[in-house]
Structure 1
Amino acid sequence: MQEDSCANREIIQKQQEHWEKIFSGNPSKFGEKASQPAMWAADIFKKEGKTKILELGAGQGRDTLFFAKEDFEVCALDYCKAGVLDIKQKAAENQLSDRIKALQHDVRKPLPFNDNTFDACYSHMLYCMPLTTSELEFVSNEIRRVLKPEGLNIFTTRHTDDPQYRTGIHRCEDMWEIQGGFIVHFLSREKITRLSKGYEIIEIKEFEEGILPKKLFMVISRKKNK
């Protein structure tokens, strides 16, 4: 994969350490309740008969556990070791280990799965992590590779109408380091279209979450057949 020219690459790469500290200090940083996008996604998956789900950027597993409790088979990946350990522990405590597989993985590297493995992929705010546009293109291509024909890719991202866009410290492209030391990549509709090559975009849903509130897109797309 081609490297991007980004003057703050070292700072961006240290985000993994930042997240490790956040997760290690609080096993339920974002609470135990599933996110609203996970609930929306579950309804879509059920309507389409999608049962084998890949979750990227799973964090500490609040959505992972929700999907498993809804009878989905979930493979959850995150690049933080602390988050993966939390997911495995919570899966065991809830007797869901047979439905949840958790792995530590950096999505800037090829996904460790064969082609056409999953019915659907879900990620909540992975696309607004400090990944460059070319890295996000790589992620989207890898997701497409491991999805079965007609597979769904559902992801959320903060976007360029968010109140924190262009605030804080500019790090690279449309990435800004905001309060708390988090670097956020704010995506435009145009960039989402670019990242959706090889997919049919079904819907781009606008919603809000948390304080401020954060403004997000939920992108629902389907793998195109070659």
Structure 2
Amino acid sequence: MGGAQREHWQRTYADHPGMYGRQPSDVAVYAAEVFLASGAETVLELGAGHGRDALYFARCGLAVHATDFSSQALDQLRRDAAEAGLGGVIQTSVHDVRQPLPLRDGSVDTVFAHMLLCMALSTEQIHALVGEVRRVLRPAGVFVYTVRHVGDAHYGTGTYHGNDIYEHGGFAVHFFDRAQVDALAEGWSGLQVHPLTEGDLPRQLWRITQRRP
């Protein structure tokens, strides 16, 4: 499904520039506070989209490496960063998270992924990605991510693709149960799981914070 989802997101960003608005997500506001309190100077954002959260992190004084598999989205981010005078502190890379992260071991202070892990990824691919996140984080580095969970109104409806992945309107979502969150936290420290809602449905999310030992 990866190729089909990439094309879908490319079309979506092309047809709806700035589709998530200019204000940062509540999760990004929380994450920036946690990152700065940890003494972080850098953040890797996975699935940055058109960059509302990346721009916020940069405004907070963090150097940002923003990745997404949609070049359309990252083109919008670069334009907005240049207009805001933030082009020098935001680096972008087109990257599919089903592949290893193009970064050195221990090279970033923090990692942020808002609803990226619950895209059309298999459980095996998600575990591999979290392993890559751990690899590129420095010791005591912080990882904040969100996922839609099995209490969401869309869970169990739409087109089923196996592995708890359901598709609605062309968007495929891997819904998480708590056991999967706990499994991804094995070998990490300081696990925090916070429920929240977002959007008009509203989407039911967990915000997860964990640290590399």
Partner residue, 1:192: 181
- CA drift of 1:87 comes to 1.1
Distance 2:183 2:200 in 1: 29
Matched residue type, 2:113:
S
| More deviation, 11-20/71-80 | 11-20
Q: Where does 1:50-129 land on structure 2 (aligned, <5 Å)?
A: 50-129=40-119
Structure 1: which 4+ aligned runs deviate by more than 2 Å?
none
Q: Which residue of 2 aligns with 1:177?
A: 167
* DSSP-derived class of the 1:103 partner: strand
- CA deviation string 1:139-194 (max 9, x = no partner): 0000000000001110001001111100111012100011x211100011101111
Could you state the TM-score of these two structures normalised by the residue count of structure 2?
0.97
SS at 2:55 equivalent: helix
Cα separation, partners in 2 of 1:109 and 1:12, compared to 1, 3 Å: closer
Name the SS of the counterpart of 1:126 in structure 2.
coil
Could you list the per-position Cα deviations for residues 22-62 of structure 1 after superposition, in whole angstroms to 9, with x for gaps in the alignment?
A: 00112211111100000000111121111210000000000
Tell me, yes or no, if structure 1 residue 23 matches structure 2 residue 13.
Answer: yes
Whether 1:148 aligns to 2:138 is: yes
Contact 1:201 1:219 in 2 (8 A): no
1:51-94 superposed Cα distances (whole Å, 9 cap, x missing partner): 21000000000000000011110000000110111111111111
**Counterpart contact for 2:195–2:206, Cα < 8 Å:** yes
The one-letter amino acid of 1:70's match is: C
- The answer for unaligned runs of 5 or more in structure 2 is none
Distance in 2 (CA, whole Å) between partners of 1:71 and 1:51 is 8
8 Å CA contact 2:97–2:129 kept in 1: the answer is yes
Cα displacement (A) at 1:201:
4.2
The question of whether the paired residues in 1 share the 8 Å contact of 2:185 and 2:191 is answered with: no
Other structure's SS at 2:150 match: coil
Aligned residue pair count: 213
Question: Do 2:191 and 2:210's aligned partners in 1 also have CA atoms closer than 8 Å?
Answer: yes
Distance 1:89 1:197 in 2: 39
For the residues of structure 1 that align with 2:62 and 2:2, how far apart are their CA atoms? 34
Distance in 1 (alpha carbons) for counterparts of 2:195 and 2:40: 23
Q: Contact between 1:160 and 1:188, CA under 8 Å: does it hold in 2?
A: yes
Using the alignment, how far apart are the partners of 1:196 and 1:130 within structure 2? 20
Task: Kindly provide the amino acid, as one letter, of the partner of residue 80 in structure 2.
Answer: K
Separation in 2, partners of 1:209, 1:46: 24
Shift of 1:12: 4.7
1:135 aligns with 2:117: no
Query: Of 141, 148, 161, which residue of structure 1 is paired with 2:151?
Result: 161
